[in-house]
Amino acid sequence: MIMDIREILNSPVEQKIFENREIFIKRDDLLSDEFSGNKARKFYFFLKNEFPQVEKIVSYGSNQSNAMYSLSVLAKMRGWDFEYYVDHLPEYLKSNPQGNYKYSLRNGMKLMVAKLKPKREEIESDQVIFVEEGGRQEEAKEGVLQLAREIERWKKEKKIGKLHLFLPSGTGTTALFLQQSLPNSIQVYTVPCVGDSDYLKWQFNALDKNHMNHPIILEPKKKYHFGKLYRESYNIWLKLQDEIGIEFDLLYDPVGWMTMMENSAIFSSPLLYIHQGGLIGNESMLVRYQRKYSENIK
């Protein structure tokens, strides 16, 4: 294996000031160069356990997904084939591979273009692992539980009573499994970045019917469409680098930070933001930002 499993244990927490507010940051982006932080947690189960019979891993989703890239790394490490289904592949990307797409191909990903998403029951077998879009499945629990234990240990060391956690959601799997694994003294807050609050609630319900385990959903003042470019998203991304010296991802984190800062008043207890990685995706996002605003932005 390329990566020792211990590398992805126990990411550091840093204390920062942003817009005059103290915020702790859990640096899951530092877990591994190869994996996006959040996906290292979600795919921990597949990294840690032995699968002697498995030969192939199959998944589906968007053509620039962080999960796609992380699965390509996993497959390469384990010597598995990797098939990934997308419903379309733009000509532009096909002739100019970049970002997650480019690096996934380099890792040996076999891209399948099909209108319909593949069905688990037709694919899964003793030799083939099927992974839902974005890793939204029970297996993600093991790695997220590990993250929960790290946060609890840190909170105890810091002698913090009540703690607020904030992280932006795609499928909401990480936020939900975190809240499920944490005691009442730690409240998880999140914001939907893909779809709206109803979609996120629906996702939470699909994973856990017990509403007591659901994170609190906050909404940004304005509606942001996933993957679209916004001047204010880029601005806060830059400001974060200037003020606290950390690069965040350009898809989830700008909406995360904007929403968290807009709601700053409700966080009366210490606040911990989870940096979930995803920096490889910034490559293609920055190209788009440059094209859109045609100026030198990095």
Binding stretches for ligand PLP (CB under 6 A): 36, 38-39, 66-67, 134, 168-175, 249, 252, 276-278
Residue whose C-beta lies closest to ligand PLP = 278
Q: How far apart are CA 236 and CA 221, in angstroms?
A: 15
Q: How far apart are CA 78 and CA 59, in angstroms?
A: 16
Neighbour-count burial of 245, counting CB atoms closer than 10 A to its CB (0-12 exposed, 13-18 middle, 19+ buried): exposed
Our CB check for ligand PLP shows the closer of 160 and 287 to be 287
The nearest distance, CB 294 to ligand PLP, in angstroms, is: 27
The nearest distance, CB 268 to ligand PLP, in angstroms, is: 25
Residue 47: closest CA among 55, 65, 59, 35: 35
The nearest distance, CB 159 to ligand PLP, in angstroms, is: 29
The nearest distance, CB 20 to ligand PLP, in angstroms, is: 25
Give me 133's structure tokens.
């879009």
Our CB check for ligand PLP shows the closer of 160 and 279 to be 279
Q: How far apart are CA 70 and CA 143, in angstroms?
A: 14
Our CB check for ligand PLP shows the closer of 75 and 170 to be 170
Our CB check for ligand PLP shows the closer of 18 and 177 to be 177
Our CB check for ligand PLP shows the closer of 39 and 91 to be 39
Give me 261's structure tokens.
């800062």
**Chain Cα centroid distance, residue 76:** 20
Our CB check for ligand PLP shows the closer of 66 and 107 to be 66
The nearest distance, CB 277 to ligand PLP, in angstroms, is: 5
The nearest distance, CB 167 to ligand PLP, in angstroms, is: 7
The nearest distance, CB 69 to ligand PLP, in angstroms, is: 9
Our CB check for ligand PLP shows the closer of 99 and 134 to be 134
